Homo-oligomer: A and B are copies of this chain.
Amino acid sequence: MRILTRFDFVTAIIIFCTLQKGINVNKSESEKKLLSEFSLFKSFLDQSGMDSEGLVNKAMNFSVAIPSWGLGTGGTRFARFPMPGEPRNIIEKLEDASLLNSLIKITPKVSLHFPWDEVRDFSEIIDYALSNQLEFDSVNSNTFQDKKNETNISYKFGSLTHTNSSVRDLAIEHNLQCIDYGLKLGSKSLTLWIPDGSNFPGQMHTSRALDRYLDSTAKIYKHLPEDWFLLLEHKLYEPSFYSTVNNDWGTSYAFSCHLGEKAKCLVDLGHHAPNSNIEGIVGRLLKFKKLGGFHFNDSSYGDDDLDAGSVNPFRLFLIYNELSDAEYCGDLPNDLAYLIDQSHNITDPIESLIYSSLELQRAYIQSQLINRESLYYYQQNNDPLMALEELKKAFRFDVSLILKMARYSLGGEIDPIKAYRDMNYRQKKSEVRKFKNNSSIGIV
């Protein structure tokens, strides 16, 4: 592959003139504009030795799963500000997910969360999904909240690592049930995030808590279907504020090694200590064969819920750089779980999911532009400035047209946020999706 030179227009124009006639005149103005622009862009890319069709194909094959819980308005412990027309149940969430996917065509999978997603009839939601071209991704258990009216057993002091075996058993049982649900849904993994930890020095015995984690997860692991993964998700803190049982990638990695091959580590971009080099963690887990998947989002402080790529797009690109490098080297597992995990507190969830899905797709395609052989050359010869410039050239390259063309080719919207806004979807939904009491005053 030649090193990219981006505005080699003179020759581009000549090629363009030849291609220009291929643009169908029966299309809408925006389609014509896209095709015309892309045609020139393609000729320019091809001229530069870049495989424009390959890139569009990559963009078309890109996908990321949507969390069912991300389809409603999120909130902080201080408040939740609901918007009209929010989905009230799993079917309405699938309805929104289906709309989302029809707009951008790269989010065909939804990840469910139990018991948040109250399913009375699995065949109903499976049918609904099928008829809306949706599938189900990793299934998520929830042992950080007590069910209403279950007063005898509480997760107040932990779940899978609680000192009391009856609490642990309840949490294990719930996870086994989630596997059952996932089997029905066609999921291939169980994502395990537990809140267990402590708020006071001395509260929790470190090594005994680690033992209980391993004991409990071993019981879940034993029931894992042959072709499934158990995805262990670590988090530095919150809701535990002094210590957390699975608090960092090292702990998660050690757990996954003890459990076995089907146990992998899931990386949530917002779950690390300040100053952590997240792309390095991804590279380490790839190297040690323990990367299981992602929860994508962005973060500036100790939070984990901002829209992916909104605060630090270069970091996102560097993470995809690790993935694309592994892909290039044949070391990328096929079955990684790519999920978004964000909380949309002040935006319309559908808009934020459009925006952040596209930012992920953008970072992926940009990372595909990196001239790896050239990069390896600079790495091998310790030319850090030129190595950085190889990354920067790809990062600076605006791949919007590739994304648009991929979306268009898949039948999605060229400008999906505009299309969504033009639909007046929330307004319409608010007329049928009525809440008794939709306010939320937080639980500080």
19 A-B residue pairs with CB within 8 Å? A7-B40, A13-B13, A77-B77, A148-B439, A157-B382, A163-B380, A198-B384, A202-B379, A202-B388, A210-B284, A211-B287, A237-B303, A242-B306, A273-B273, A273-B274, A273-B276, A302-B302, A314-B314, A442-B443
Distance between A406 CB and nearest chain B CB, rounded to angstroms: 15
Q: Is the CB of B254 within 8 A of A284?
A: yes
A9 at the interface (CB under 8 A from B): yes
Most buried by B among A203, A257, A276: A203
Expressed in whole angstroms, the Cα–Cα distance for A318 and B312 within the complex equals 11
Task: Give which listed residue, B156, B300, B379, B391, contacts A241 with CB less than 8 A.
Answer: B300
Contact call B310/A200, Cβ cutoff below 8 A: yes
Interface residues on chain A, number (Cβ under 8 Å): 130
Q: Report if A79-B206 is in contact (Cβ < 8 Å); known contacts: A37-B7, A306-B199.
A: no
For A300, give its contact among B145, B277, B303 (CB under 8 Å).
Answer: B277
How distant is the Cα of A148 from the Cα of B440 in the complex, in angstroms? 8
Say which residue of B10, B206, B236 sits within 8 Å of A283 (CB atoms): B206
Query: What are the nearest 4 A-B pairs in CB distance?
Result: A250-B250, A302-B302, A206-B283, A273-B273
A248 to chain B, nearest CB (A): 6
A287 in contact with B206 (CB, 8 Å): yes
A159 to chain B: closest CB distance in Å?
11
Chain B residues within 8 Å of A391, by CB? 201-202
- The minimal Cβ–Cβ distance linking A258 to chain B, given in whole angstroms, is 8
User: Interface on A for B, CB 8 Å cutoff?
Assistant: 6-10, 13, 16, 33, 36-37, 40-41, 69, 74-81, 144-146, 148-149, 154-157, 163, 195, 198-208, 210-211, 236-239, 241-243, 247-251, 253-254, 257, 272-277, 279-281, 283-284, 286-288, 299-303, 305-307, 310-315, 318, 321-322, 325-326, 329, 331, 343, 345-347, 351-352, 355, 375-376, 378-382, 384-385, 387-392, 395-398, 400-401, 417, 439-444
Q: Which residues of B contact A312 (CB under 8 A)?
A: 312, 314-315
Min Cβ gap A190→B in Å is 19
A236 touches B301 (CB 8 A): yes
CA of A288 to CA of B213 in the docked complex: distance in angstroms?
Answer: 13
Q: Please, how many angstroms separate the alpha-carbon atoms of A247 and B275 in the complex?
A: 12
Instruction: Identify the interface centre among A280, A315, A442: most chain B CB within 10 Å of its CB.
Output: A280
The interface residues of chain B lying within 8 Å CB-to-CB of A286 are 206-207
A439 closest partner in B (C-beta): B148
- Docked CA distance A379–B163 (Å): 8
Judging by beta carbons under 8 Å apart, are A250 and B251 in contact? yes
Q: Are A155 and B417 in contact (CB under 8 A)?
A: no
On whether the beta carbons of A202 and B380 are closer than 8 Å, the reply is no
Max count, chain B CB within 10 A of own CB: residue among A9, A279, A397, A439: A9
A302 and B273 alpha carbons, distance in the complex (Å): 10
A345 to B157, CA, bound (A): 10
Residues of B near A275 (CB, < 8 A) are 236-237, 273-274, 300-302
A390 to B81, CA, bound (A): 25
